[in-house]
Structure 1
């Protein structure tokens, strides 16, 4: 190497390093200015952070190997794959019904995929995407219970999970009814099994699944309120991520992706012959079922 080259090479290398430093600094500055939960922040972090349930099969639960699985959980993995190129680039944060909204508001998660029903009250504090599921809330009672109709629960103890649609509906419509509240869905179901209450009110899809695995219970036919959509949720004002999820749901609808998840996790939990369209909302296109 000539003397001139020996002198110029270190200078050239320093120039490259300086250029890289400036590029990294610019990237860092851009990311720092991006709001939490934005697409830019998620891509810079190279990870999608999603709030999920760990005790609500078939939607979000932990299997025997300790892995997060379920309808909602697998949908989150697909979101990570399509946004970041790898379904493993997702971090699951376990939420309870009452903590879903606070976790969004405090930026602990980018997205909630934890079976959250769309209600006017929740729409005031979070932004929902288009729906992916539909649900009605019902009450589960022991087979030998004398209770035949919802109104007969007015003098009984009704178990609910704090922050669920059932909790909110009963508190608003029947404030004088006695509610026994638990933070976790698993705790509520165990309380029902232990006879600590006369009924358990929850999303009917969860009750169908649990009753099939635990004979000796039946659902009261009258729902608590109308059928409603379930949808992913983002922090209030995060229209960028909301719009991305809506576009993604529409695209997944073309390949009937939710039907695949339904077949994998939900179908065998329901009565034979159940129409999948009574449970899933493919493509995000909500249309209320007749008679709901």
Structure 2
């Protein structure tokens, strides 16, 4: 009996040891992947960046199938500074709700999909230094909704997983939310009357109402002013450090202002100043 008990004890110890070694091996493998992030990208010869495909003028796909917009211009410059060629980049289209998962699953190196930095998101991804300023806004027919109190008893349209979704869910649970995955679905729902108003980044709404003058941004700024920044997988310290230095360089070289003038100024016109949107 004692021999059987001893054998069971030994077998248990071996099993625990094997599990521990396996976990350590996986941890070291993951650590190695994170610490060699820049080398991996350089060996691959391509930077993989998650972007929006339906959020003009920040990230969208034009009639020729090319990725265009403010985020795209900055991403290409990042690829140029890292790999020596702005064309050494692969764009992967993401939705607001799956940006974190794409980083976790190593489907992308960086998320550049108008990603607002929030405390909740900082728990699951690492944000680099910001390149853009943003607040929430609310658009409605003729801009008639100018106060959150007017949304009581009405339907507000938002994108799943966005700061607008989080803000109204936490702060105004009595307001009915109609949620969609894609921006195209969200704005289509507003236009065909499925909702009374739409909450989104004010920088996007300012651009959208230019093309849809029957709507207006009645609430131009809501909640705290936030920032938009590139994001990398949690713990990817090497890529994060490089990105922080890169953003500093882009600010010093006034590249962000140039990108604004190229992509956003033609849309905003005189209504918005570069200093209100980008870091200079």
Smaller-chain TM-score bracket = 0.7 to 0.9
Alignment of 1:107-146 (within 5 A): 107-143=106-142, 145=144
Alpha-carbon offset, residue 144 of structure 1:
7.3
Unaligned regions of 5+ residues in structure 1, if any? Answer: 1-29, 283-292
Q: Normalized per residue, which structure has more strand?
A: 2
Other-structure match for 1:65 = 64
Unaligned regions of 5+ residues in structure 2, if any? Answer: 1-28
Other-structure match for 1:48 = 47
TM-score normalised per structure 1: 0.82
Alpha-carbon offset, residue 220 of structure 1:
2.0
The question of whether the paired residues in 2 share the 8 Å contact of 1:169 and 1:224 is answered with no
Structure 1 Cα separation of the partners of residues 204 and 36 of structure 2: 29
| Larger Cα-atom Rg | 1
User: Are residue 230 (structure 1) and residue 244 (structure 2) matched?
Assistant: no
Change (3 A) 1:273 1:200: closer
Number of matched residues? Answer: 252
Other-structure match for 1:148 = 146
Structure 1 segments (4+ residues) deviating >4 Å = none
Other-structure match for 2:89 = 90
Higher mean alpha-carbon deviation, 59-68 vs 191-200, is at 59-68
1:134-184 CA-to-partner distances (Å, cap 9, x unmatched) read 001011000174x33111102100000111110111111112210000000
The question of whether the paired residues in 2 share the 8 Å contact of 1:37 and 1:238 is answered with no
The question of whether the paired residues in 2 share the 8 Å contact of 1:52 and 1:92 is answered with yes
The question of whether the paired residues in 2 share the 8 Å contact of 1:158 and 1:179 is answered with yes
Alpha-carbon offset, residue 243 of structure 1:
1.0
Residue aligned with 1:151, SS: helix
Other-structure match for 2:25 = none
Structure 2 Cα separation of the partners of residues 152 and 202 of structure 1: 17
CA RMSD after TM alignment: 1.9
